[in-house]
Amino acid sequence: MLHIDLADQYRRGSSRVHRLDPRVKLAGAVLFIVVASALPAGAWGAYGLLFAATLVVAALTGLGAGFALKRSFVALPFALAAISLPFTVAGRPLAQFGPLVVSVEGTVRFASILIKSWLSVQMAIVMTFTTAFPDLLWGLRALRLPPALVAIVSFMYRYLFVLADEALRLMRARASRSGAGAPGRRAGGSLWWRGKVAGGMVGNLTLRAFERSERIHASMTARGFQGEIRMLATPVLTDRDWNALVGWVTFLAMTALIGFVF
């Protein structure tokens, strides 16, 4: 019995975005991220258009305009890796803190990176919450990604919760053998002892993962697996899908033009 469930984040629905072909949603999200990443620093008008697009798309999903907005703030701490830009990029001084000088150009570049990351995560959230994981995998393969890469992603998602459950069993075994929960007694031993036990658990889990992967590979090979997961029915692009893709590409091209020209 599995105790850890890494459930799919997909939210069922019948909106226009839900009904789009997975290839269209994947291509649209990737193009959005590429345009957002390529925009020059300080293209505030283009950033505003991209932000408005994320709100409109999220609203069309039926999940609400603020659905992806609330969940996208998780990306901001990672963008803080560029926090040194205001102090290291030469330019007009904006403020000074002792020997450190904050430049206008560095601040603009840092703010641009922050906004780009935030917008990209919003679009990725909308895509994953409106597309089932098997459909995403099929879309990746249909867009000519290497079959081996798609298979790795598929198996990683499929068996990640199995490894997590194995880790839970190891932790329960450690607790039962170290007096955890005994009244008036601290579980386990010294910090050195805990480190050795944790290292042994990691090694044990690694060996179990290798053994399980060998068994899975042998069983799938015996059943005719040739490195590619096939579908019984292949979706067909409809006029609605083509119209949505053409309209989205046109909007992104106009946004990029505004960002680079104005």
d(CA 180, CA 192): 17
53 and 96 housed in the same domain: yes
Residues 6+ apart with CB under 8 A from 14: 62
Angle between helices 147-177 and 191-222 (to 10 degrees): 140
| Single-letter amino acid code for the residue at 261 | V
Whether 4 has a pLDDT exceeding 70, the answer reads: no
Is 199 among the domain residues? yes
Which of the residue ranges 139-143, 164-168, 173-177, 194-198 has the most confident prediction, judged by mean pLDDT? 139-143
Is 197 among the domain residues? yes
Q: Which residue has the higher pLDDT, 98 or 237?
A: 237
Q: Look at residue 239 in the predicted model and tell me its pLDDT.
A: 93
Instruction: Point out which residues pair with 93 in neighbouring strands.
Output: 103
Is 92 among the domain residues? yes
Got the DSSP string for 219-243? HHHHTT--S----SS-----HHHHH
Instruction: Point out which residues pair with 101 in neighbouring strands.
Output: 96
3-state class (DSSP) for residue 98: coil
Q: Please state the rounded mean pLDDT for residues 16-38.
A: 94
115 and 39 housed in the same domain: yes
Q: Look at residue 188 in the predicted model and tell me its pLDDT.
A: 57
104 and 175 housed in the same domain: no
113-117, 156-160, 198-202, 225-229 — which is least confidently predicted?
225-229
157 and 59 housed in the same domain: no
Whether 247 has a pLDDT exceeding 60, the answer reads: yes
Could you tell me the residue range of the domain that residue 57 belongs to? 16-131+235-261
Q: Please state the rounded mean pLDDT for residues 92-112.
A: 86
118 and 239 housed in the same domain: yes
Q: Look at residue 189 in the predicted model and tell me its pLDDT.
A: 63
d(CA 49, CA 45): 6
Got the DSSP string for 169-188? HHHHHHHHHTTTT-TT--SS
Q: Look at residue 40 in the predicted model and tell me its pLDDT.
A: 94
164 and 215 housed in the same domain: yes
Q: Please state the rounded mean pLDDT for residues 221-245.
A: 81
Mean pLDDT of the chain: 84
d(CA 109, CA 221): 51
48 and 163 housed in the same domain: no
95 and 201 housed in the same domain: no
Which ranges of 39-103 would DSSP assign to H, the alpha helix? Answer: 44-60, 67-71, 76-79, 85-88
Q: Look at residue 209 in the predicted model and tell me its pLDDT.
A: 85
Q: Please state the rounded mean pLDDT for residues 46-59.
A: 94
Count the domains in the chain.
Answer: 2
The neighbour count for residue 204, using CB atoms within 10 Å, is 14
Whether 183 has a pLDDT exceeding 70, the answer reads: no
Question: Is 155 within 8 Å of 225 (Cβ atoms)?
Answer: no
d(CA 67, CA 159): 28
The pTM (predicted TM-score) of the whole model is: 0.78
Which of the residue ranges 43-57, 146-160, 166-180 has the most confident prediction, judged by mean pLDDT? 43-57
196 and 91 housed in the same domain: no
Q: Look at residue 73 in the predicted model and tell me its pLDDT.
A: 80
3-state helix, strand, coil in the chain (%, to 5): 70, 5, 25
